[in-house]
Structure 1
Amino acid sequence: MSERTIVEIHALETTAAANLNRDDTGSPKTMEYGGVTRARVSSQAWKRPIRRMFDDLLDPQDLGIRSKKVVDILSKRIIALDESLADEASELAEAVLSKGAGIKLTAPRKKKGTEDQEDNRLNQSSYLLFLGKRQYDALAQLAVDTRKESSDLKEAQTAIGKMKKQIKQIIKDDKAIDVALFGRMVADDTDLNVDAASQFANAFSVQAVDTESDFYTAVDDEKKASDDDDENGGDSGAAMLGEIEFNAATYYRFADVDANRLFDTLGDVDATAKAIGALVKAFVMSMPQGKSTTFAQGTLPDLVVVNVRDTQAVNMSGAFLTPVKPDYVENATKALVKRAQEMDKVYGVAPVKTWVVRIGDATKSADALAEPVSLQQLVDGVEETVASRLSQE
């Protein structure tokens, strides 16, 4: 038996009018596939709501923070440990991050209209740094301890600058679950990088999709037809006009996670299994929030198929190279099942275990892959299978 444990998640999800992920012009993102235009949602647009959902599924202390405001974050943790260092916290934080970790810090760009005003904002990293909360706590403790052992701030900064190996080791020991899943790139020092244990594909529509446009108006509540003293001569029409583009589609979504790689980073079987269970649940329940107040696109998948393989992850996007015809969910389900069965037969990549979560009669052909279960049964089954396989290594 192969020692590899790869968990892959497939989903079919339908949204009505929505603009989940906009391009630089405000239009819903699209792609050309199979000779037609498809709706598309970037992997980044769906990963963010997944990460945000982790706050409800996992211990927040086991997660990371992705931000440029690293000095501000570390300063607040230093003050939380010792309020007497409030006036020196930012200098100590800069010493730890810059002199110790080797992270380049720069002054934030000034906002328009503030050129002649004093800017009290703290220095930032030049890129988004993804660092575990426990790492921030450990770095803050190091700064506080070093300051207590020094006669003044300058001596403490010098001492911190000589602790590069210790500081970098704290960062390397990062066990934050989302950092391990999604990876970290540190431009200033590749030794601090973390390879992502998961991969996310761009979601795309299984059918050809045309972008439509919604022309809207907003009326002034206080404006009356009798008003004749304004520039519109008493016009009681709209005070504002606008246009929003949208589409409607059935999306194929895919992601996978290498349980072995995640275990290498986290170093704990139960933590790894729990992290993958949380990823599966968040993948299913999350939704990008683009224009959500306008379209309320709070849907859930029609079909979810989760496989555990000991070979490699298999993206089933080829099932939809030929655009499916109405009924989209039913025909997309049949295409997905057919593709999965052919892949397993031809390439010998049959899953070790498969779970199916589905709703409605349109997805009943997926029963050929596995007996349908609830989402919680799926999550529990994935965690149990991952933990059992990792424990056998």
Structure 2
Amino acid sequence: MTDPTLFVEVHILQSLPPSNVNRDDSGTPKQALYGGARRARVSSQAWKRATRMHFAAGSPEADRATRTKRIGGLLTARLAQPASEGGAGLAKEHAERLAAALLVPLGITPSATKAEQSAYLLFFGKRQLDGLIALLNGRGAELATLPDKDLKDEIASLGVVGTLSSGHPAEVALFGRMVADLPALNVDAAVQVAHALSTHTVRTEFDYFTAVDDENTVDSGAGMIGTVEFNSSTLYRYAVLGMHQLRENLTASDAVLDAAVRFVDSFTRSMPAGHQNSFAHRTVPRLIAVTLRTDQPVNLVSAFEEPVTGASGLVAESAVRLAGELDAVGTSWGSTPVRTLSTYVLQGDKLADSFGTSLPFPKLLDTLRELLDGWLANGQIPTGPGRHSADVPSARDGSAPATATTRDAS
């Protein structure tokens, strides 16, 4: 019997004022054609990094991960630290030699242009560096003086690959790791993030700006003249977390639960920082819907294949479209969430029918934690207040789709 699957999806509608949060190589806000219309776009990579930085800020320093080409330098610095501080107390030249030897089993080679860096980025936990030091078992000084062949043989017997293949921090477990040269180090990501798209057509605009020279008393000319491109948009953002994959990556139930809830929090609250000093574009979402599915993830972006026109406001119209798409997927495909938890600041019976009662966001996270805790314990998600699969019979049953939703009586 296969382990049960559970997908935690996060659907967000968020309005951004004039901004340029994610630009291309020419400085233009990223865009995409969708439904034959030009849309604002924020790449998945940009929002994943913003999410990861927000997530890391809430973790103890020792439990964080880092993605870098400078693992050799970090390992050298650790080996040079006194044993009382967790290092090996080696002289710099011995620390550099031993660090290089420890990286050989990982297939990490120096950059062709910068010898102090590796050829590619490696994503790993800071505690995993502690694990590499622990492998030496106090023999660092002895190993660092061995002839090259003997040192290579000793290092090969230590299990370096195994150390970086286990004990992953939550960030690596969530976002995964791919090492083309050594598949044993690969970690399947538990999270997938879509490119954020505007629900409507956008047009890029230009801000012509000048900077005044405060000490110029001779003429009225500007000290600098320039332009920056920007747009404004209402974005549909989507991410999905596979709880079953996260459990495989982390193992410990407490760690899995904490990582899952904190991911939803960080994805919701984070914001890419491009040109933030120029535009102060940080907003909070107007609608967050967390859907729990046991069959497959469903990105609801098709709700906006026909661009929203905003006759009654872009957010309000987008929310109604999103609610309709959620219901349509359930009716047409029999793919309805087991539970739906929502936070929104919009009015309308349609939203309550589709998304359930709006919860304060902290309450949404607490409820999500309770549901995921139950799933980790027994593989089940209990039904309760809020829209769930019991409210909408599967189209495969031949029964009519339900039009009512269970609501919180409190």
Q: 1:118 — aligned with what?
A: none
CA contact (8 A) 2:88 2:138 kept: no
In structure 2, list runs of 5 or more residues that go unmatched.
Answer: 380-410
CA contact (8 A) 1:78 1:141 kept: no
Query: Structure 1 pair 333/145, CA: closer, same or farther in 2 (3 Å)?
Result: same
Counterpart residue identity of residue 35, structure 2: G
Match of 2:206 among 213, 221, 245: 213
Distance 1:10 1:364 in 2: 19
Give the alignment's TM-score, normalised by structure 2. 0.86
1:97 aligns with 2:103: yes
Q: 2:253 — aligned with what?
A: 269
Match of 1:256 among 240, 245, 262: 240
1:17 aligns with 2:18: yes
Query: Structure 1 pair 65/337, CA: closer, same or farther in 2 (3 Å)?
Result: same
In structure 1, list runs of 5 or more residues that go unmatched.
Answer: 110-121, 228-234
Match of 1:287 among 247, 265, 271: 271
Query: Structure 1 pair 152/44, CA: closer, same or farther in 2 (3 Å)?
Result: same
Q: Aligned runs of 1:298-309 on 2, under 5 Å?
A: 298-309=282-293
Q: 2:352 — aligned with what?
A: 367
Counterpart residue identity of residue 37, structure 1: R
Distance 2:144 2:97 in 1: 15
Q: 1:7 — aligned with what?
A: 8
Please report how far the alpha carbon of residue 140 of structure 1 lies from its aligned counterpart in structure 2 after TM superposition: 2.1
Residue 12 of structure 1 aligns to a residue in which SS? Answer: strand
Give the alignment's TM-score, normalised by structure 1. 0.89
Distance 2:151 2:214 in 1: 60
Match of 2:89 among 84, 87, 93: 84
1:341 aligns with 2:327: yes
Q: 1:350 — aligned with what?
A: 336
Residue 135 of structure 1 aligns to a residue in which SS? Answer: helix
Structure with more contact order per residue of length (Cα contacts < 8 Å, sep ≥ 6):
1
Please report how far the alpha carbon of residue 275 of structure 1 lies from its aligned counterpart in structure 2 after TM superposition: 0.5
CA contact (8 A) 2:21 2:42 kept: yes
Q: 2:51 — aligned with what?
A: 50
Between Structure 1 and Structure 2, how many residues are aligned? 369
Q: Aligned runs of 1:138-287 on 2, under 5 Å?
A: 138-143=131-136, 145-150=138-143, 152-154=145-147, 157-163=151-157, 166-224=159-217, 227=218, 235-287=219-271
CA contact (8 A) 1:2 1:311 kept: no
Deviations 1:35-86 (A, max 9, x none): 1100000000111111111123333433311000011111222223346313
Residue 106 of structure 1 aligns to a residue in which SS? Answer: coil
Q: Aligned runs of 1:369-388 on 2, under 5 Å?
A: 369-388=355-374
Distance 2:76 2:15 in 1: 45
Q: 1:31 — aligned with what?
A: 32
1:124 aligns with 2:117: yes
Counterpart residue identity of residue 367, structure 1: A
Q: 1:232 — aligned with what?
A: none
Match of 1:137 among 112, 130, 133: 130
Q: 1:113 — aligned with what?
A: none
Query: Structure 1 pair 345/237, CA: closer, same or farther in 2 (3 Å)?
Result: same
Deviations 1:255-291 (A, max 9, x none): 0010001101100122111101011000111000000
CA contact (8 A) 1:7 1:308 kept: yes
CA contact (8 A) 1:63 1:179 kept: no
Please report how far the alpha carbon of residue 321 of structure 1 lies from its aligned counterpart in structure 2 after TM superposition: 0.3
Distance 1:146 1:32 in 2: 59
Q: 2:63 — aligned with what?
A: 62
Residue 223 of structure 2 aligns to a residue in which SS? Answer: strand
More off after superposition, 139-148 vs 152-161: 152-161
Please report how far the alpha carbon of residue 341 of structure 1 lies from its aligned counterpart in structure 2 after TM superposition: 0.6
Query: Structure 1 pair 27/321, CA: closer, same or farther in 2 (3 Å)?
Result: same
